[in-house]
Structure 1
């Protein structure tokens, strides 16, 4: 019997979800399997360069209907303010007929999904297996998706919860309350996720046993589903695209391990005062730095939002950049010694697999959980201390960076040692390939209705 399968992929319309799905698609395609990737038309243009196997991965563009509240042309989370997420979910739901028509015609063996819980019904109707793919941390899933979770007990560990260190607590509980807000017509993200996880055939998670094993076991016990781990599925570096000369030449000016690199992802847009505090905090470290962030709210460029006199003061040792940068290649440059990040799940893995000291400045719920996992469980990083307003001061940012960059710092040396040990574990020969191989083998058995042990 031919073990090659055809998989559909239908992620939530946000690049933080679509990109990991596409990296996973590349892993499947590399093994000879076919993938049909369903996404909004505009997103296809932005992501098709990441398709490493165009013969095996075909994009299926979806037409996004007009929904009250959504700006004209909005198709992904990057096109809207966070407050409009529910309207985008409604637009996603309106693609159901398109998705079902594609499944009916192309007859996939597997359908990978996340927030569109109705995919499980389509899969059952047409004889496909449904796979809920969690592209964020298992720790976040344990805190935000377990049955019985309520808005009023987010800081209370669910029965059997494997670790109190990662739980939200105190005023931070509000950071996760959005999962109980409307998410599409008559639904919440929490209800969608629990329904999808309960009704799917298999749960898959973008993580590894070594880092999040106990959280994966907990999810398996909660949902009574087989849990398959993909590993972090970070993309292979493109050897045909070296670091841009602009950054390579600039970084070459500084001593090894001396530069602080700060990147907060593509979806975080700071208020102007927050943006300025970030810039001033980097200046206060006294170290060379490269900051890659979106322009602050209300500004068309980062230069418009800079503090008065800032550029003149830091022109020899600092750069604030408002465009895209090659983050993995910058982290790999010998001059970069510290990575300040929002701790999105992709950046979390990239930091863990780099040689840089790690400082986290999380914003949203899963980023806070990822930060706690890295800082309190693995003890490989530090978090910037915040005040009651949930915002940081330039002084606190500077203190956090200096605490890991100072060669005489006890904290800095401890997280450096722990980081080195974890990196050695994760770079153990064949570990990541083993995860992919076992994952694909399990999917092949699932398609052939062979019992998964």
Structure 2
């Protein structure tokens, strides 16, 4: 089947952390002539249109997200509700089934890529098409928590939960006993059981699993998933978007140019992480204590409407021009490419993980969510390209711990700092090659076509 005749549909979970990776994959497929129909909430459309690089091949199909009791009026995405209400948002997703089925019946795509919509395989079987579970989180998290070798229910104890399933391919990429109270969502048995049932159903019922990863870093985990689910596991590679052709806005460029190459610490935790004020202030004091110039881009902490009102007393006066704390969106890809940036303090979300790997920066990690913790262990323990900031017994990231981690990787005399830097350079040389990334997508498309053309497809 020629790629120009291939037609796929995308139906990601109702979160921008899922919409955007699905759209990045859509752009890569459209580059190769694939037609893409993208289903998403009506309200998310305007925010994503600018990321559609192939509007003649990628078409959006807006969905009306029905109201569910307990959700705020008009809630459409995970950005509109706290983490504790995501289960209700999933109920709203389920209520779109009739709309989705009507659209897919009309379009008849060859494949539907999905994640939370566990009923998609039932629809595609009726239509005589294929369903691919496309995961935007790392394979090590799926392998640890979302496989048939383990069963998670509301009765599952924390001790049972943090034990790896039989055959899991790592002794180091896992949850530590002392951190379980501090990982968002891990202590909610109802949510844990709900996610396990929903996601393993989709993985079990789909025709193939697709992962935003590669053999070089997660080969053992993708092989384990293939064995667990007895079906093909296809790897797309990192699916990184092209670096914007635009220049970094003058205000950022002018400020960063004040500092020596490789001297500035950049910190961002994505749009999902909102800190408590006490933790936010402790981090600010840690950046101050490090002695390095820094650019921090975080959402205002809980209870604060602006970043300025959340800063520690006297902080701005002490820091002066050495630090910039910003409470809104920043052009992260362009900032990471600026020669003055020498260190990236990240939450290890999967997108940021890949962006850090193809950057020239040293990498310091502070994970908050389950997949971020697993990704951090992958980066620190297996790839050995980053260091993790140690939490205190109360789960807090202390100013001294953050400052120590930054100084460790920024010190040219540090043995550990030089070790992770050299390991990082070796991987960066592979991953930042456009030829390498293109080959991964080309191989993925070939694997997709092979499945479609196989007898009985």
Per the alignment, residue 190 of structure 2 pairs with 181
CA distance in 2, matches of 1:372, 1:126: 41
Which ranges of structure 2 fall in alignment gaps of 5 or more residues?
none
Q: Is the 8 A contact 2:180 2:187 kept in 1?
A: no
CA distance in 1, matches of 2:375, 2:216: 15
Query: Pick from 220, 232, 236: which aligns with 2:238?
Result: 232
Question: What is the SS of the residue equivalent to 2:437?
Answer: helix
Q: Deviations over 1:170-205 (max 9, x none)?
A: 03345363685248xxx7110111111111001000
User: Normalising to structure 1: TM-score of the pair?
Assistant: 0.96
Per the alignment, residue 357 of structure 2 pairs with 352
- Distance of aligned partners of 1:383 and 1:11 in 2 relative to their CA distance in 1, 3 Å threshold: same
Per the alignment, residue 330 of structure 2 pairs with 325
Per the alignment, residue 436 of structure 2 pairs with 431
Q: How many residue pairs align between the two structures?
A: 448
Q: Is the 8 A contact 1:344 1:366 kept in 2?
A: yes
Question: What is the SS of the residue equivalent to 1:315?
Answer: helix
Q: Is the 8 A contact 1:180 1:190 kept in 2?
A: no
Per the alignment, residue 296 of structure 2 pairs with 291
1:380 aligns with 2:385: yes
Q: Deviations over 1:111-166 (max 9, x none)?
A: 00001111110111111100000111111111110112433312222111100100
Per the alignment, residue 199 of structure 1 pairs with 205
CA distance in 1, matches of 2:232, 2:222: 10
Per the alignment, residue 37 of structure 1 pairs with 38
Alignment of 1:176-325 (within 5 A): 177=186, 180-182=189-191, 188-239=194-245, 241-325=246-330
Per the alignment, residue 366 of structure 1 pairs with 371
Q: Is the 8 A contact 2:121 2:131 kept in 1?
A: yes
CA distance in 1, matches of 2:2, 2:25: 21
Query: Pick from 154, 157, 172: which aligns with 2:164?
Result: 157
CA distance in 1, matches of 2:151, 2:237: 27
CA distance in 2, matches of 1:295, 1:179: 25
CA displacement at 1:428 relative to structure 2: 5.0
CA distance in 2, matches of 1:207, 1:226: 14
Question: What is the SS of the residue equivalent to 2:292?
Answer: coil
Alignment of 1:116-127 (within 5 A): 116-127=117-128
Per the alignment, residue 344 of structure 2 pairs with 339
CA RMSD of the aligned region, Å?
1.6
Q: Is the 8 A contact 1:357 1:416 kept in 2?
A: yes
Which ranges of structure 1 fall in alignment gaps of 5 or more residues?
none
Question: What is the SS of the residue equivalent to 2:36?
Answer: strand
CA displacement at 1:301 relative to structure 2: 1.0
Question: What is the SS of the residue equivalent to 1:35?
Answer: strand
- Distance of aligned partners of 1:178 and 1:28 in 2 relative to their CA distance in 1, 3 Å threshold: farther
CA distance in 2, matches of 1:115, 1:17: 10
Q: Is the 8 A contact 2:13 2:115 kept in 1?
A: yes
Question: What is the SS of the residue equivalent to 2:266?
Answer: strand
Alignment of 1:405-444 (within 5 A): 405-428=410-433, 430-444=435-449
CA displacement at 1:108 relative to structure 2: 1.1
Question: What is the SS of the residue equivalent to 2:186?
Answer: helix
Q: Deviations over 1:265-322 (max 9, x none)?
A: 0111111111111111111111100000001111111011111111111121000001
Which moved further from structure 2: 172-181 or 377-386?
172-181
Alignment of 1:136-175 (within 5 A): 136-147=137-148, 148-150=150-152, 151-152=156-157, 153-173=160-180, 175=183
Q: Is the 8 A contact 1:179 1:188 kept in 2?
A: no
User: Normalising to structure 2: TM-score of the pair?
Assistant: 0.95
CA distance in 1, matches of 2:186, 2:239: 29
Q: Is the 8 A contact 2:244 2:334 kept in 1?
A: no
1:94 aligns with 2:103: no
- Distance of aligned partners of 1:261 and 1:2 in 2 relative to their CA distance in 1, 3 Å threshold: closer
Question: What is the SS of the residue equivalent to 1:254?
Answer: coil
CA distance in 2, matches of 1:215, 1:397: 31
Question: What is the SS of the residue equivalent to 1:181?
Answer: helix
